[in-house]
Amino acid sequence: MGTEEREMLDKARQIIINSLGEQIRLYGITPSNGRLFGILYFHEEPMTLDEMAQEMGMSKTAMSNVARSLIDVKMLDRVWTKGSRKHLYRARTDFFKNYLEFVAMQAKAEREIALKDYDKVEPIYEQLLQSSDDEIKRQAELDFNKIKEDKKYYYWLERVAKFLENEEIIKYVPKEEPNSFK
């Protein structure tokens, strides 16, 4: 590959890396984390923390935190290579799976937070429904009915998360190849 072609390839990759950094921000992940994901996306072999830190111009400690955050959202895997004592990292490049797992994880987290708190307040509302104060009783009943309706959503959300996790959604919304990259 000639120098000019190498520069063209590097420029095209840099555009995608920057784009991934911006896209990932939509999921609450910093652009620098997205940039690391993009670098690993194009790297043929897994990289060490040292290699990633050098490529990103960050400290090894900072790079460890970035890698951990990408592992937490299932966009990066830590891999082991026989004979190597260093941790190696590889991007998970199946965007379909990354998206489905991320959204399912967020849905489950939302459900867990809400139901835990709703379960805490239910006994309080049940007690308030017995109040002799009609106004308190009326407001408690309105709140309690809202909570019961909300809980339907959170149980539905659990089913949606399972639907995404087991990739059943692909049956209804199939993966299709864009015409421009066939």
pLDDT band at 175 (very low <50, low <70, confident <90, very high): confident
CATH number of 3-91: 1.10.10.10
Domain extent listing, the chain: 3-91, 95-172
pLDDT in tens, 106-164: 999 999 999 999 999 999 999 999 999 999 999 999 999 999 999 999 999 999 999 99
pLDDT at position 104 over 70: yes
pLDDT in tens, 17-69: 989 888 888 888 888 888 899 999 999 999 999 999 999 999 999 999 999 99
Strands 76-79 and 88-91: antiparallel
CA–CA gap between residue 112 and residue 104 (Å, rounded): 12
Question: Model-level pTM?
Answer: 0.77
pLDDT at position 182 over 60: no
CA–CA gap between residue 119 and residue 106 (Å, rounded): 20
Nearest to 131 by CA among 118, 144, 149, 117: 144
The per-residue pLDDT for 120 is 96
Q: Which amino acid is at 83?
A: G
The per-residue pLDDT for 90 is 96
Helix axes 3-25, 31-42, angle to 10 degrees: 140
Burial 140-178 (b: 16+ CB within 10 A, else e): beeebeeeeeebeebeebbebbebbbeeebeeeeeeeee
